[in-house]
Structure 1
Amino acid sequence: MFWAALFDFFCIPFIVFISFMIILSAVNKSVGVRRAYVKLLLKIFEFGRLSIESAAKERQKLVGDTIFNNSQERKLDEINLSFCKKTGRTIPTTNGNTLISRDSVLLPTSNEPAASDIESPPKDEEMRFNLEKCLDYIKAGVESIIEDEVTSRFEAEELKSWNLLTRTNRHYEFISWKITLIWMTGFAVRYFILMPLRVFVCFVGVYVAVVANSLVAMIPFEFLRHPCADLSFKITFRIMTRSLSAVITFHNTEYKPKGSGFCVANHTSPLDVAILSTDCTFSLIGQRHGGFLGLLQRALARASPHIWFERGEARDRHAVAERLKQHVSNPNNPPILIFPEGTCINNTSVMQFKKGSFEVGGVIYPVAIKYDPRFGDAFWNSSKYSMMQYLYMMMTSWAIVCDVWYLPPMYRQEGESAIDFANRVKSVIAKQGGLVDLVWDGQLKRMKPKKEWRELQQVEFAKRLKGD
């Protein structure tokens, strides 16, 4: 009797909630709970920001008073020091150290040449290069040491204000008892309420993907199988994004990809696929995986055309290009979703696009994705975190909030190279998403610069030295 009552009290409402969520995902509707949740988070963040600023002002005031008191103490110390020197007494010390301590400064020894050793300067016609040409390289080198334009794109994006989530060494959570209470409450909500619920909803999404796509694959009529595959594809990813409390805003939906071709987007996270797939059906391309991703790949491939490569086959550019051409040549196939950067960038910039998908031909549908880092860092640093670690971090974040812009379709112009076309598409995406347009290859995250690049830099450096 007790267990039956417990089941009625907990399980039945939960089953109704999951069923209701699946129905909303199928019709692509929302009751506004997630957006209200995001608005509440913004108010909490604003309260935290004001509390941190007021605490910082009080600290500055305290430091100012301390400086004033220290200045008075220094004047007394100077008087005592002068008195000790005049009377010959011992200079007082503090905690065994000298009263006035300074960092030792190492100065270079003077090795100035004699006048007879100085040779007369060479004539202008004897000068083969201008030494000032090197200063630009020195300046660039120092700037790279201070802030490297490449490696900084593979670290978490810096936030202007604390979101009660980012791990810092400033201990913002202990500024006041109110902030501490909010931080502890948020920790409990994220780890003990949201995380278990999100994990369960994610598994529901995978289960729906396996069952729905298996049923769609059994439909014998092609005219009926295509719309059913389209619906099952979208429902799968809508449920998965709901497991992360995702709030997605789509702009310029009139430019949504239609028909075969390539949908090209900047790449921040594996979640990019799920976010874009909630609004449009795509054919996915990638390497075959095992485990969780492999299960999802096999489920999706049952009902719709996707391109999965074996590890060795994916390195064969000609084989990849041939399969892409075969896919886009069929007007009934959905557009292929491609991330030409080839790696995840930290939501601040767009790096070099690989030219492969731009050589095949066909229409290109550019898409810009921009995440709001205040609610969670969507960037996946694959060299630091595994896929399971990344999913764990996403499940314990506040939410995933992002904007998606569909851009007008683009075509390769006559006489335009694939590289120029890729750069043109990249600049359009960067401008729309408010991202920095960089020329560097994202694969520098994992490997050294190519030999050809170093040789080009050496040739350019030699030309400058010669004054060409």
Structure 2
Amino acid sequence: MISAILNILWLPIGGFLSFLIFISAINKSIGVRKAYVNLLLRIFEYGRVSIETASKENQQYSVNCKTDDKQGVQLVDDADSKEVTTNGATLITRDAVLLPQPQEPGLEKPVSSKKDEINFDFEKCLDYVKSGVEAIIEDDVTSRFEAEELKSWNMLTRTNRHHEFISWKITLIWMVGFFIRYVFLMPLRVLVCFVGVVWLTICTAAVGYLKDGPCKRRLVNKVLGICFGVLSSAISAVITYHNEENRPSSGICVANHTSPIDVLVLMCDSTYSLIGQRHGGFLGVLQRALARASPHIWFERGEAKDRHLVAERLKQHVSDPNNPPILIFPEGTCINNTSVMQFKKGSFEVGGVIYPVAIKYDPRFGDAFWNSAKYSMMQYLYMMMTSWAIVCDVWYLPPMYRQDGESAIDFANRVKSVIAKQGGLIDLVWDGQLKRMKPKKEWKEIQQVEFANRLKSDST
């Protein structure tokens, strides 16, 4: 009896998976995901208007019920109009006094022959005090490792703002959405993900036995495109690629980093070699599968700290024109897709062409940011598979070259600013590793010397 039921259920599921693989193989879309996303946008808009209306009614009710005209009225939260953040940028105006790099030195003043008297005025350090208070309220670093603030509620349980019971219609929509995501979408997505990983493992193992050459490279590109196309269905990914004429074909490709999904997003459109530390668990399975079919650079934990070894392996890979472009995330850690933080200079010292890529996720459908300090990989995948969808835009930017006399740091900053501008992200100078370590002693000393020089120059 049970086997008969399983056979009946397997027919539609097997047909669906076969159809999914076929669609991925021919690199076509039938428009279901985009129609699904457009429907969600209409539901979100309806929810936003309903919440605004209910908030205004509650506000009016509070005004009518107040007993003392001199006392202020506590207004109901309006999630759409009272946000203090806009795409991760706070309303605090910063003068950028405390930075990890020294400011431009001013003109040297002639040394007086007489003994100068240094008069201290408290107002000369007010800008530093102001910056310190702003950092205590909300600094530029730690806020980049939390989920991006939403302008309106997206009806997900983890972004609950107690709006689901504001009216019976919103309650009904929320309950139906909860049922669809957890009872229908999540099991189906888990099944698709499992099939995708198994398919990737089998296919890469098969093509790994082929002799190296143009035929194998074309087959690898096709196989990886199909496999990652299936895996993208496990998170209902809707990806829009812009400026495809700038798609990298060799050299080094650098992109801002939000989550491990960044690799999936880019591999759905082209084949890349990857560089990084060896992992265990789910990521380790994917790493070993990819290594069978195409050249990748994986390091052990101790080797990854050897800059010379990393640079040498990177130069060897780039020097071979037959190798795919190598994908690098110079930030070295995941940022919440509101900003771009300091790029490590290593990949910009190798030489050759750099292909910048900007990736921007739409947080209304699901938060793609992986807070690795808070969630394990399996917890993160669970969150992705219970989101509405993963919607993002990818911009391929024109190739960039290191200019004569330009340092690797300046080149990295120039590439970073281009990516930030295209993706609508905030360009920050801070090192993303500050979430794991304390500020360097040199940064403190630079600011101390800078402050002392300012006091000295103001008093002479």
Q: Normalising by the residue count of structure 1, what TM-score does the alignment of the two structures yield?
A: 0.86
User: 1:141-156 residue pairs with structure 2 within 5 A?
Assistant: 141-156=132-147
Q: Would you say the 8 A contact 2:153–2:161 is kept in 1?
A: no
Residues of 2 paired with 1:308 and 1:72: CA distance? 67
| Aligned match of 2:170 | 179
Residues of 2 paired with 1:8 and 1:308: CA distance? 42
Residues of 2 paired with 1:356 and 1:384: CA distance? 28
1:133 CA displacement? 1.7
Count of aligned residue pairs for this structure pair: 415
| Aligned match of 2:9 | 10
Percent of counterpart pairs with the same letter?
Answer: 72
1:452 CA displacement? 1.2
1:390 CA displacement? 0.7
1:70 CA displacement? 4.2
1:338 CA displacement? 0.3
User: 1:256-275 residue pairs with structure 2 within 5 A?
Assistant: 256-259=247-250, 261-275=251-265
Q: Would you say the 8 A contact 2:235–2:389 is kept in 1?
A: yes
| Aligned match of 1:45 | 44
Q: Would you say the 8 A contact 1:368–1:432 is kept in 2?
A: yes
| Aligned match of 2:156 | 165
1:220 CA displacement? 3.0
Residues of 2 paired with 1:136 and 1:395: CA distance? 46
Q: Would you say the 8 A contact 2:272–2:324 is kept in 1?
A: yes
Query: Secondary structure, in 3 states, of the residue corresponding to 1:132?
Result: helix
Matched, 1:126 2:125: no
Picking from 217, 222, 225, the partner of 1:226 is 217
Q: Would you say the 8 A contact 1:229–1:303 is kept in 2?
A: yes
Note the alpha carbon deviations across 1:433-467, whole angstroms, 9 max, x for none.
00000000000011101111111111111111212
1:166 CA displacement? 5.5
CA RMSD in angstroms, aligned pairs only: 1.7
Query: Secondary structure, in 3 states, of the residue corresponding to 1:368?
Result: strand
Q: Would you say the 8 A contact 1:130–1:466 is kept in 2?
A: no
Shifted more, 305-314 versus 128-137: the winner is: 128-137
Matched, 1:416 2:415: no
| Aligned match of 1:430 | 420
Residues of 1 paired with 2:218 and 2:120: CA distance? 69
Residues of 2 paired with 1:339 and 1:166: CA distance? 31
Residues of 2 paired with 1:72 and 1:302: CA distance? 74
Residues of 2 paired with 1:144 and 1:208: CA distance? 49
Residues of 1 paired with 2:314 and 2:271: CA distance? 17
Query: Secondary structure, in 3 states, of the residue corresponding to 1:281?
Result: coil
1:71 CA displacement? 4.4
User: 1:77-88 residue pairs with structure 2 within 5 A?
Assistant: none
Report the residue type matching 1:14 in the other structure: I
CA gap of 1:295–1:8, structure 2 versus 1, over 3 A, is closer
| Aligned match of 2:235 | 244
Picking from 327, 348, 351, the partner of 1:358 is 348
Residues of 1 paired with 2:330 and 2:118: CA distance? 47
Q: Would you say the 8 A contact 1:321–1:360 is kept in 2?
A: yes
Query: Secondary structure, in 3 states, of the residue corresponding to 1:51?
Result: helix
1:236 CA displacement? 1.9
1:221 CA displacement? 5.8
Residues of 1 paired with 2:429 and 2:285: CA distance? 36
Note the alpha carbon deviations across 1:217-243, whole angstroms, 9 max, x for none.
122362321111111222221111111
Residues of 2 paired with 1:286 and 1:342: CA distance? 10
1:178 CA displacement? 0.9
| Aligned match of 1:326 | 316
* Structure of higher CA gyration radius: 1
1:303 CA displacement? 1.0
Picking from 208, 211, 218, the partner of 1:217 is 208
Shifted more, 234-243 versus 418-427: the winner is: 234-243
Report the residue type matching 2:341 in the other structure: M
Q: Would you say the 8 A contact 2:153–2:160 is kept in 1?
A: no
Q: Normalising by the residue count of structure 2, what TM-score does the alignment of the two structures yield?
A: 0.87
| Aligned match of 1:109 | none
CA gap of 1:276–1:454, structure 2 versus 1, over 3 A, is same
Q: Would you say the 8 A contact 1:426–1:437 is kept in 2?
A: yes
Residues of 1 paired with 2:280 and 2:380: CA distance? 17
Query: Secondary structure, in 3 states, of the residue corresponding to 2:293?
Result: coil
User: 1:25-40 residue pairs with structure 2 within 5 A?
Assistant: 25-40=24-39
1:4 CA displacement? 6.9
Report the residue type matching 1:222 in the other structure: G
Picking from 391, 401, 415, the partner of 1:401 is 391
1:244 CA displacement? 0.2
Picking from 192, 197, 200, the partner of 2:188 is 197
Report the residue type matching 2:314 in the other structure: L
Report the residue type matching 1:313 in the other structure: E
CA gap of 1:132–1:266, structure 2 versus 1, over 3 A, is same
Report the residue type matching 2:302 in the other structure: G
Note the alpha carbon deviations across 1:43-99, whole angstroms, 9 max, x for none.
1111111110110011011011012x44499xxxxxxxxxxxxxxxxxxxxxxxxxx
1:416 CA displacement? 0.4
Picking from 372, 376, 380, the partner of 2:362 is 372
1:204 CA displacement? 0.8
Report the residue type matching 1:297 in the other structure: Q
Residues of 2 paired with 1:429 and 1:13: CA distance? 44
1:146 CA displacement? 2.1
| Aligned match of 1:61 | 60
